[in-house]
Amino acid sequence: MRNAGVAIASFFVTWTAIGTAAGLAQQGEPDSAAIAPRVDSVFSEYDRTNSPGCALGVIRDGELIYARGYGMANLDLGVAITRASVFRIGSTSKQFTAASVVLAAQNGEMSLDDDIREYLPEVPEYGRTITIRDLLHHTSGIRDYLGLMRLTGLRGDDWFTDDEVVGMVARQRATNFEPGSEYLYSNSGYFFISQIIKRATGMTLREYAQQHIFRPLGMTHTHFHDDHNEIVLNRASGYAPAAGGGFRISMTTLDMVGDGGVFTTVEDLLLWDRNFYEPRVGGEEFLRTMLQRGVLTGGETLDYALGLRHASYRGLPAVRHSGAFVGFRAEIIRFPEQRFSVICLCNLATASPSRLAERVADVYLADLLEPVEEREEAGGRRRESEAAEALEYSVDELVAFAGTYHSEELDSDYRISLEEGELMVQRGRGEPISLRPTGADEFRVEGARVKFERDDRGRPASFVLDAGRVRGIRFVRVDGE
């Protein structure tokens, strides 16, 4: 799991060896004046003065060959999006977190194979060492902190601190799976890296990235945003659709960084993209490590490297990562063999920058791309399957599930009650939500699976909650006999 491998080395050599002479200029690409209207049409629904939108950057051979904004950065003030607008980029930030810890390892401040408990002793021993590399590859099994906080009943606009997140994750008695045996995306891993960097170097992740990445590359409008009250020049506000039409502001007061939190621009990301061909920061060793895929204990090689995902788009090798948080969406997709990248940063929660970036790539790389494969829609069959699993309960049967259940790991109570023939669960200060029967002693609540367990008298006495990136949370009935 710890060796870069022949495939990555080969990929790196191919990436860095291809120059302009083999680039797009010799492939009959139309001039920019002919291409621009086709690219602009991709963003036509956002290219308005009454809508949020996106900033686009198209890079070839280390230069921006097309960049512009579509829609508005701020609807209150009527400020348009430009190539210099500053966006939150969500999980696209993870590559900068990974880059920071790789540089720290190169500087001798830690090793990627260190046990995370050397820096985070409050994390329990789970029967197998969890390394920094496990965090980077999402193979640690550590439960996702955003999921954990939501499951306590916190609402989307509630505020909590770094220390509270560390305490919540450290309270977990188990991992989602044996560390190293599976891949499951977890924001906790990259948040933990921010804490490890702070404890190992004495610098916050923001300070470390500023000193070792952003300042050396000249990325003067990029930072890890660890203070939500900070004023940011040229910041785009985030938005989501409002009920009944229009938009509402969608921002956050959370100051966690590592799993996300980078604010940046198209112009600054050009400088980051250049570093993958002519590395001013880190050198070739840095690039090889950043591109190194994870390998599970069973031998399977992952697509996920270090904050970067190896992919193929219509037959061309690509390296990419998306991001999504509150009213922001982002995508950076790089085609290393063509020395071609597309950056798409959006400030609307319903935007799909991954698809938008692909459509832009379709325009520029049309002669190189394989035909689009038609995908079979499975939604109808899925709905039929769910309906078949549903089970009818009588009112008396449903009443038996009502009660108060407590999770020590979440330090939270779930209060289940029967209201108008339907089971409802109250979590924290949130609104009651429905428990929908799907099988014997099994329910679903907001996409999570709840499986009840009965005592020797046949009475529901506990349940186990599985919620995607958080598995196996146990609740025990505490409301007496």
Residue 99, token pair as written in the block:
């880059």
* Calpha distance 425→435 (Å, rounded): 7
Q: Please check whether residues 249 and 398 belong to one and the same domain.
A: no
Domain membership of residue 156 (yes or no) is no
Say which residues have a Cβ less than 8 Å from residue 383's Cβ, sequence separation at least 6.
none
Domain membership of residue 372 (yes or no) is no
Domain containing residue 337: CATH number: 3.40.710.10
Residue 67, token pair as written in the block:
């960049």
Q: Please check whether residues 16 and 109 belong to one and the same domain.
A: yes
Say which residues have a Cβ less than 8 Å from residue 423's Cβ, sequence separation at least 6.
398, 401, 402, 416, 417, 434, 435, 437, 443
* Calpha distance 93→4 (Å, rounded): 23
Q: For residues 68 and 30, is the Cβ–Cβ distance under 8 A?
A: no
* Calpha distance 459→477 (Å, rounded): 10
E strand spans, 124-186: none
Say which residues have a Cβ less than 8 Å from residue 424's Cβ, sequence separation at least 6.
416, 417, 418, 432, 433, 434, 435
Give the pTM: 0.90
Name the domain count of the chain: 2
Domain membership of residue 29 (yes or no) is yes
Q: Please check whether residues 438 and 338 belong to one and the same domain.
A: no
Last residue of a domain, one of 299, 331, 364: 364
| pLDDT, tens digit, 9 for 90 and up, residues 214-265 | 999 999 999 999 999 999 999 999 999 999 999 999 999 999 999 999 999 9
Q: Please check whether residues 355 and 394 belong to one and the same domain.
A: no
Q: Please check whether residues 425 and 317 belong to one and the same domain.
A: no
Q: Please check whether residues 321 and 216 belong to one and the same domain.
A: yes
| pLDDT, tens digit, 9 for 90 and up, residues 377-435 | 544 444 434 444 557 889 999 999 999 999 999 999 999 999 999 999 999 877 899 99
Domain containing residue 412: CATH number: 2.40.128.50
* Calpha distance 50→247 (Å, rounded): 9
Domain membership of residue 286 (yes or no) is yes
| pLDDT, tens digit, 9 for 90 and up, residues 63-92 | 999 999 999 999 999 999 999 999 999 999
Closest CA to 289 of 479, 4, 1: 4
Last residue of a domain, one of 329, 364, 399: 364
Domain membership of residue 167 (yes or no) is no
Q: Please check whether residues 350 and 438 belong to one and the same domain.
A: no
Q: Please check whether residues 396 and 356 belong to one and the same domain.
A: no
What order do you get walking across the sheet with 340-346 strand by strand?
A: 63-70, 54-60, 340-346, 328-335, 316-325, 309-313
* Calpha distance 131→110 (Å, rounded): 11
Domain with 427 in it: 389-477
Q: Please check whether residues 360 and 471 belong to one and the same domain.
A: no
Closest CA to 247 of 54, 47, 52: 52
Last residue of a domain, one of 331, 364, 397: 364
Residues making up the chain, counted from first to last: 481
Q: Please check whether residues 413 and 451 belong to one and the same domain.
A: yes
What is the mean pLDDT for each group of 10 consecutive residues in the chain (481 residues)?
A: 39 41 42 87 97 98 97 98 98 98 98 98 95 98 96 85 96 97 98 98 98 98 97 98 96 96 98 96 97 97 98 98 98 98 98 98 97 62 44 89 96 95 89 92 94 95 97 92 54
Domain membership of residue 151 (yes or no) is no
Domain membership of residue 380 (yes or no) is no
- Unique residue bearing structure tokens 């990974």: 98
Q: Please check whether residues 336 and 403 belong to one and the same domain.
A: no
Domain membership of residue 147 (yes or no) is no
Q: For residues 308 and 291, is the Cβ–Cβ distance under 8 A?
A: yes
* Calpha distance 222→26 (Å, rounded): 34
Q: Please check whether residues 131 and 50 belong to one and the same domain.
A: yes
